[in-house]
Amino acid sequence: MALLGTAERHYERSAHDHTTPIGVLHQMVVRWGDAERTTSRRAFRRWCDGVAFVDVQARTFAEFWTRQNETARIGDGPLWVVLGDSTAQGLGATSPMHGYVGQALDTLNSRSDRPWRVLNLSRAGAQAAHVLHDQLALLDQLDVEPELVTCGIGSNDILGTAPRTFHSNMRQLIRRLPSSSVVMDLLLPDRFWAVGGLCSPYVAGINRTIHATAAERGLPVAELSRHVRPPWRGKLAPDLFHPNDFGYQQQTNALLAALPARSTSGLRTQRI
């Protein structure tokens, strides 16, 4: 099928690509010497190991979802299409199915008389522009209307995209989403690393754009900003950036709280 062939090509990367933004930082410090074994040095190296671990997950988790997408293509049951970044891939969790997509899928299946299918078009490192120009194009190629579309994007834009462009991309993206969509806002990075508090007012402004544009369309918003809050201890993966299983559980709670009742019944039988 053309859709999955395009998706598989999209996941292909060279050996020099960095699959997560924080993976770039790992490449800068991976050659750090062992001459001075101080406590801070050991802690720093443990963090670098965590970054390396999650950077490897970006490749293995993408391969997992490519296989899952193939299964979704030939299956029956209600269809959920996932748009987003590394959190939609589940990076930082103990397995791809322990991210918010896998955890929410378990709940959807428990509420439905038929198993849901998931077509995960997300990509680690994606920004809003990538969803706008690439992932939505893949969604448009489907010959069936999904029962549910979720879109969680923007974390990689906070420090990586000019503010005016960021706001514009989010507005355009939300206006193009299908009517069956749920939009996820951004968690507020209060007390997250040293710069979290400085970024929070800006992120709150992005969330106002997300909520206002979604309201224009009548789309529900999963409020990560309300459900995922500090303290962060015990909620983060070894890279201290992505969520762990428990952190994803909170994101899952935000998503499930926003799902319309019609999206949890799974009554239609469709095929891609």
DSSP 152: E
> What pLDDT, on the 0 to 100 scale, is given for residue 231?
85
> What pLDDT, on the 0 to 100 scale, is given for residue 55?
80
Q: List, for residues 141-153, the tens digit of each pLDDT value.
A: 998 999 999 999 9
Instruction: Kindly tell me the sign of the dihedral angle through the C-alpha atoms of 7, 27, 49, 100.
Output: negative
| CATH entry, 2-263, from 3.40.50.10310, 3.40.50.1110, 3.40.50.80, 1.10.510.10 | 3.40.50.1110
Where do the domains of the chain lie? 2-263
The 3-class SS string of 53-77 reads HHHHHHHHHHHHHHHHHHHHHHCCC
CA distance 90 to 110: 20
The answer to whether the CB of 20 falls within 8 A of the CB of 54 is yes
> What pLDDT, on the 0 to 100 scale, is given for residue 40?
59
| pLDDT, block means (10 residues), the chain with 272 residues | 44 44 52 50 60 80 96 92 98 97 97 95 97 97 94 95 98 98 91 65 96 98 94 86 94 96 49 36
> What pLDDT, on the 0 to 100 scale, is given for residue 251?
97
